[in-house]
Amino acid sequence: MEIEQLENTATAVRRDILRMVAAVNSGHPGGSLGCTDFLVALYFEVMNLKKDADGTPIFDMDGRDEDLFFLSNGHISPVFYSVLARAGYFPIAELATFRKLDSRLQGHPTTAEHLPGIRIASGSLGQGLSVASGAAYSKKLNGDKSHVYVLMGDGEQQEGQVWEAAQFAPNKKLGNLTAIIDLNHAQIDGTTDNVNSNRDLAAKYRAFGWFVDEMEGNDIADVIRTLKKAQENPEVPTMILMHTEMGFGVEYMVGNYKWHGTAPNADQLTQALNGLPLSIGVTDY
């Protein structure tokens, strides 16, 4: 896809996010909006995914001979669901069932719902890096040359299990693993610095043996460049510190941690949607 097409898709995803959380007055718009450009670039440009003759994704839990993605910070499920739907994993219209009874689109993704594209139940923070490390190790043992990606939050770095996996991956020389931290400096109770400062994450991961890089997460071109560069490190895993702004794309939400888990009301939704016009050929659900 051209960058302009990816940006148009990102705008549609942001509209999906806002309408989904507003419809049920529940969900996490801030981090979802901030990570939209990353997930659009990952699914529409970077990852090698199984598809049938007409380009529709073929999903199976085994995941052999294709790139895998794991969402660790599962509370940003709105952006994940929207990207999966717009990539063809399930009907876009199903986004309207978000967080409703008997929906496959629960507040945190679950495998019990058998929603195509969902490989793990996530939301209990700190577990995604362990799962991704295990998948990458399995691929290495099986001679599978495809890549594994995992997204974590910066507040999530306060979890102990993250650091057990951070030690494991370099020791097993998992060069087929790329982890990304959404560095928006915000979590539900305030800024990460005020809640429990992560201090120098780059130095920490380098000390564990990771190759560390950085990228602008709200710049699709930079996301694509950096993710593709990460595939060039066959002997060590890559940790990317992704600089984003919480609420990116919605002026009154940008940089405000209070939108971590707060849905916009009707007037705020209208204001936000007016600032995110759809392009020709892109539709709302």
3-class secondary-structure state, position 136 = helix
**Residue 280 above 90 pLDDT?**
no
Query: Does 284 fall in a domain?
Result: no
Q: Structurally, how many domains does the chain consist of?
A: 1
pLDDT of residue 192: 86
Predicted TM-score (pTM) of this structure: 0.96
In-domain check, residue 246: yes
- 281 found inside a domain: no
The pLDDT tens digits of the residues spanning 156-169 come to 999 999 999 999 99
User: What value does the mean pLDDT take over residues 6-21?
Assistant: 98
Of 7-11, 188-192, 213-217, the one with minimum mean pLDDT is: 188-192
Which domain does 229 fall in, by range?
Answer: 3-275
In sequence order, what E strands does the chain have?
68-71, 148-153, 177-183, 186-187, 190-191, 211-216, 238-243
- Give the contacts of 267 (CB within 8 A, at least 6 positions apart): none
Q: Is residue 149 part of a domain?
A: yes
Residue 145 pLDDT exceeds 90: yes
3-state SS, residue 214:
strand
Tell me if 129 is assigned to some domain. yes
pLDDT-wise least confident of 115-119, 120-124, 186-190, 200-204: 186-190
- The chain-wide mean pLDDT, for the chain, equals 96
Residue 132: inside a domain: yes
The pLDDT value recorded for residue 126 is 94
**Could you tell me the maximum CA-CA distance found in the chain, to the nearest angstrom?**
53
The tens digit of pLDDT for each residue in 223-263 reads: 999 999 999 888 999 999 999 999 999 999 999 989 999 99
Is the pLDDT assigned to residue 1 strictly greater than 90? no
51-94 pLDDT, tens digit per residue, is: 999 999 999 999 999 999 999 999 999 999 999 999 999 999 99
CB atoms within 10 A of CB 208: 18
Residue 285, in any domain of the structure: no
| pLDDT above 90 (res 42) | yes
- Average pLDDT, integer, range 33-55: 97
What's the CATH code of the domain at 120?
A: 3.40.50.970
For the cut 90, the answer to whether the pLDDT of residue 189 exceeds it is: no
Helix (H, G, I), strand (E, B) or coil at 222: helix
Q: How far apart are CA 229 and CA 86, in angstroms?
A: 26
* Interatomic CA distance for residues 9 and 13, integer angstroms: 6
Q: Which is more confident, 284 or 271?
A: 271
pLDDT band for position 15 (50/70/90)? Answer: very high
